[in-house]
Structure 1
Amino acid sequence: MTPGVITLADGRLLSWHEFGDPDGSPVLYTAGTPVSGLGGACYDQTARAAGLRWISPDKPGYGASGHQRRRSLASWSDDLLALASHLGLGRFALAGESGGAPFTLAAAHRLGDRVSVVALIAAGGPMGPAERVGMTSSARVMNWFARNAPALNTFRVAAMRRALVSPKNLQRAIHDVGVDRSAEVMSVLASYVK
C-alpha cells in the first residue's frame, strides 16, 4: 500500500498507512518505538474483521514523515488532529502501543471531544526494582539509559531499527514477542466505536 502524505502547517510532511476495513470506524494508531506506521500492518486482518479503519501515521522522523526538532507529547496531538481533519474524521478512536502509549494519552487529553475511546497496547508505566525482575539484560540496559542517560538510548534504538530491517530478524522478533492478542484489542475497540 502506498502511504498518504500531507504537508502540515509548519511545513513538515506527515505520512500514514491504512489497514483494516476502509469503510470501518476510524482508529488513529501510534506505533511503539522504534516502529514506523507500517507497524499497523500487524493489525490489518483483525481490524478488518472488527470493522475498524486502522490509520497508522509515521511519527516525526519515521518513514516519509519529516523530522520534528522539538517533538513533544503534546505536539503529536497536533499532527493527529491535522491528519483527522485531512481525512474528514469527526470522531475517532485512539490506540497507542508501547512507546506510542504516552503520545496517545497526551492526544486523548488534548483532543478529548473528538476521541470516542482510547486503547493502550503493551503500555508501561514507572518501573521500580520489582517491575524489572525477569527483564532481559538488554531491556534492563535500555531501562537504565531511559532513567539516567536518555540520549544514549538513541544508539540502542538505532541498532534495533537496523536489526529489524532484516526479514529474518523481524520474524524472530515477532515470534519472541509471543501470543498475538490483536483480536482481543480489536474486539474491545469495535464495541466502543460503533
Structure 2
Amino acid sequence: MPLHHQLRSPLVLIFAAFFAKLPETRHFVLPDQRQIAYGIYGAHNATSTVFYFHGSPSSHHEAFVLSGAGRRHGIRIIAPSRPGSGGSTFRDNGAILDYPDDILALADYLNVTQFGIIAVSGGTPYGFACLRRIPPTRIQGFGVVAGLYPVTSLGTEGMKWPSRIMLKVATWFPGLVAWVIDKQFGSVARDEDESKLEALLEADMKQDSTPESERLAWEAASPEIRKAVVMSVREGVRYGGWGPAWEMKLLGSDWGFELDDVRPDEDNELVMWHGDLDTNVPLTMAQKAAARLGIHAELRVIPDQGHGSLTFQKADEIVGAMKGMAWRS
C-alpha cells in the first residue's frame, strides 16, 4: 500500500536527487520517554496547520511532496514518523487507537490548538483514530489520499496479491513479516551505497502492473521530490522491520472502531481522493468506505491514476481543500 512502491526514478536521476536539500528532522520526547521524529513543511509561520500521516512503510520525509503546495496556500504541514520508522521509537504492542495521544502531545508541544489531517495510504487508519479520539473542536477537517480502509469489514477484493498476503500473514506472524521487510528493504537501506535502494525501487516501478501515469508523474517530478520519496522509504525501513511489520499487523486487524463511528456530520469535513487504476488499494474499497461514512463524506475519483503519484499529482487541490476547511472553522 505505500505511496512509494509506485514511485521509482530512472537511475540517471539518482545523484541529482540526493544533492537536493530537505528540511531538518526534529525530535520530541513523549511523556513515556518515547521519541517522535518529525518534519515541518509548507509555510512554517502560517496560522493554519495540517498534520500529515505518511504511508507504510515510510516516514515523515514523504510530506515534502506537499511542501510547495503548502507554501502557496499558506498551510504549515507537520509530519511525524510513526513508531518504529523515521527515528521514532518503536512502541511494544501499540494499537491504532493509541496514536491520537501522540498527536495531541506533539500538537500541544508546538502550541497547535486546531489542525487538519491529511492521511495517505497506510496512514489513513491513524487519521480515523484521531477523529474517534480527539475532541472535534480541535480537528478542522480530514483529507484521505489513496486511503487504506478496514480490510476486516470491507475485504481486499482487487488488491494486489502480495499486499493481501502480507496483511494476512502479519496479523498472525508479524515477526516473519519483519524478517521479510528487513531482508528485502532494511539491509539495503542501511547500506552506505544509497543507489542500491534506488535501484531496488526502480525495478518495482518497471512492473507491468504499474500504471503509465505513475511513471510519467515520477519523470516529471523535481529532484527534491524524488529525493524525498526515496528518503521516506529509506528512513521507514533502515531501523529494522519490526515497525513496518507491526503496522501491517494493525492495518490487517480490527482497528478497534468502525467507520460508522466516525461519520462526519457536515459537508466538507472529509474528502477522499482515489485513483480509478489503484491496485494497491482498489477503488471498490474506497467506494465501500464512502458509503459507510455517509452522505457528508466526499469521494473524488481521479481518472487514469494509480496509487503512488496521487499525492503530488493533486497536491494543490488537496492542500487547497484543507485550507478551505480551516477557514470554515
TM-score (norm 2): 0.52
Contact 1:34 1:161 in 2 (8 A): no
- Change in Cα spacing, 1:159 to 1:32, as seen in structure 2 (3 Å) is farther
User: Which residue does the alignment assign to 2:139?
Assistant: 115
Choose the corresponding residue for 1:35, options 46, 58, 72.
Answer: 58
- Change in Cα spacing, 1:191 to 1:87, as seen in structure 2 (3 Å) is same
Shift of 1:185: 1.3
Shift of 1:70: 2.5
> How many pairs are equivalent?
192
1:133-154 C-alpha deviation (Å, 9 max, x unpaired): 3x433233224435x6352443
Contact 1:32 1:97 in 2 (8 A): yes
SS at match of 2:137: helix
User: Which residue does the alignment assign to 2:198?
Assistant: 167
User: Which residue does the alignment assign to 2:157?
Assistant: 132
- Change in Cα spacing, 1:80 to 1:178, as seen in structure 2 (3 Å) is closer
SS at match of 2:119: strand
Shift of 1:130: 8.2
- Change in Cα spacing, 1:2 to 1:156, as seen in structure 2 (3 Å) is same
User: Which residue does the alignment assign to 2:104?
Assistant: 81
| Distance in 2, Cα, partners of 1:130 & 1:143 | 11
The question of 1:3 aligning with 2:34 is answered no
Which is higher, the Rg of structure 1 or of structure 2?
A: 2
AA of the residue aligned to 2:103: L
AA of the residue aligned to 1:101: T
User: Which residue does the alignment assign to 1:185?
Assistant: 318
The question of 1:13 aligning with 2:35 is answered yes
Shift of 1:113: 2.3
Query: Is there any run of 5+ residues in structure 1 with no aligned partner, and where?
Result: none
SS at match of 1:60: coil
Shift of 1:187: 1.8
The question of 1:71 aligning with 2:84 is answered no
- Change in Cα spacing, 1:193 to 1:164, as seen in structure 2 (3 Å) is farther
Contact 1:8 1:14 in 2 (8 A): yes
| Distance in 2, Cα, partners of 1:132 & 1:156 | 24
TM-score (norm 1): 0.84
1:88-147 C-alpha deviation (Å, 9 max, x unpaired): 1111111211111111111122112211111111112245898523x433233224435x
CA RMSD in angstroms comes to 2.7
Query: Is there any run of 5+ residues in structure 2 with no aligned partner, and where?
Result: 1-22, 190-196, 206-213, 216-305
| Distance in 2, Cα, partners of 1:82 & 1:129 | 32
Which one has a larger percent strand, Structure 1 or Structure 2? 1
The structure, 1 or 2, with the larger RCO (C-alpha pairs under 8 Å, 6+ apart) is: 2
| Distance in 1, Cα, partners of 2:39 & 2:70 | 13
| Distance in 1, Cα, partners of 2:322 & 2:184 | 30
